[in-house]
Amino acid sequence: MRGCWFLFVSVGVAVGCAQDTREVVEPSIPPSCIALPARLSAPEDATSPDTQRIQQALDGCGNGHAVELKAEGGHSAFLSGPLQLRDGVTLLVDAGITLFASRNPRDYDIAPGSCGVVDRNGHGCKPLIGGDGISGAGVAGDGVIDGRGGALLTGQTASWWDLAQQAKRRNLNQNCPRIIVVTHARDFTLYRVTLRNSPNFHVLFNGDGFTAWGVVIDSPQNARNTDGIDPSSATNVTITHCSIHAGDDNVAIKAGSAGPSSHITVAHNHFYTGHGMSIGSETNGGVNAIRVDDLTIDGADNGIRIKSNASRGGLVHDVVYSDVCIRETKNPVVMDSTYPFFGPGRGQLPEFRDILFRNVRVLTAGKIALQGYDASHRLGIAFDNVHLDDASSAVITASHAAITLGPGPVNFVPLGDDVQIRDVRQGGEKPLACDAQFVALPR
């Protein structure tokens, strides 16, 4: 571990660089209350899905136990429509098992015919795995949950991802399910499981207490709106030892009308294709006490990004990025207060301040944007030992910003309209060592 203290305890390693107020340790897998044997070799083998028997097992399992999906007789696949998690119960997907999502939009309808269409409303689908108001639940194991976002929908000539592209072209909303949506929840855990090919976001969490540890997320770069993990109006969140390859934000911290997001740690992770480590675009609930540490971003569209606008803005402050290595990324740093996706209202002005970059290195050229909203809502940002390996080729724009350089070395000086520079550079430090930090996506 770089940049953090750590403490060995009886059940794992406690992360100690964080703003998550919990003592976060590596999760353990609970004992199984029941082991369900696989009946399929592939999802197309199904004459009837496994939804009912998985749900019945979840409903009947006791607190502190798991419903285990296991291989049997050469079979290693399950097929399911929407499932509901229960208090204290973990869905355990064994190594070698794949839980496939149904391709039938009717399985996910919130209202008749609401899923699998493009319209103005959106939000017409249930998630594959949901939980509202639950406590102590989880999804774990070394197996795979496959949302089948690129497969043709039942009775249609388009996939979920095709619908997302249609919605973009027509300036409408797609109605596609997410893999995991947990709301108004406490102490939810994702552990070691692989999530891939989600039709929409892979994971959305709202509540108090969420740990994602050792999770792998893998969807294609061109799969629109396939965010990795999105804490939304959430507090006490730790995302650690995860590998995320996505078609949209790798992680996006959101804070809308449901309230603020705060005390969130993102530590010891690897991001690949996607839109990077994001805050926003909904920030009207307020975002604070965020710590991002020991992160590699490799091959993304965006690296570190805070995004909002006058229809969904609010105060984002007390955010620290430390020990971050970025390469082959088009926009390594983006502070964007005029993000183009507008809601119906105006007058919720964004303000980003108390933002610190400490020990950050960008190995390849790209665009850096440091944009406050106006002279009354300046970007307040500091760079301490931040190095651009190809500073002469970097395109740096800035406006309405109060920028501190130092005390560690910084090898660039942003200039622009209404930009105030406070230079306290003292030098003496070397750029962050990054070459050994980049690793391949686990497969």
DSSP labels for 153-201? PTTSS-BHHHHHHHHHHHT-EE----SEEEEEEEEEEEES-EEE--SS-
Q: Which residues contact 113 (CB under 8 A, 6 or more apart)?
A: none
Q: What share of the chain is helix, strand, coil (3-state, %, to 5)?
A: 5, 45, 45
List 109, 162, 218, 248, catalytic entry: 248
List 245, 275, 377, 400, catalytic entry: 275
CB environment 236-262: b (16+ within 10 A), e (fewer): bbbbbbbbbbbbbbbbbbbbbebebbb
Give the gyration radius of the chain's Cα atoms: 22
Q: Which residues contact 435 (CB under 8 A, 6 or more apart)?
A: none
Cα separation, 143 vs 198, in Å, equals: 15
Burial class (CB in 10 A: 0-12, 13-18, 19+), 8: exposed
Query: Long-range contact list for 160-165, CB < 8 A, 24+ apart?
Result: 160/116, 160/199, 160/200, 161/199, 161/222, 161/223, 161/224, 161/226, 163/116, 163/117, 163/118, 164/199, 164/200, 164/223, 164/224, 164/225, 165/224
| Residue 45 annotated as catalytic | no
Determine phi and psi for 37, rounding to 5 degrees.
-80, 140
Q: Quick one: tokens of 243?
A: 């590998």
| Residue 275 annotated as catalytic | yes
Q: How far is CA 2 from CA 206, 237, 292, in A?
A: 29, 20, 12
- Asked if residue 291 lies in contact with residue 265, where contact means CB atoms within 8 angstroms, the answer is yes
Cα separation, 270 vs 198, in Å, equals: 19
Cα separation, 142 vs 68, in Å, equals: 11
Cα separation, 166 vs 171, in Å, equals: 8
Cα separation, 43 vs 374, in Å, equals: 54
- Asked if residue 296 lies in contact with residue 437, where contact means CB atoms within 8 angstroms, the answer is yes
Q: How far is CA 155 from CA 106, 113, 379, in A?
A: 11, 13, 50
What amino acid positions are annotated as catalytic residues? Answer: 248, 275
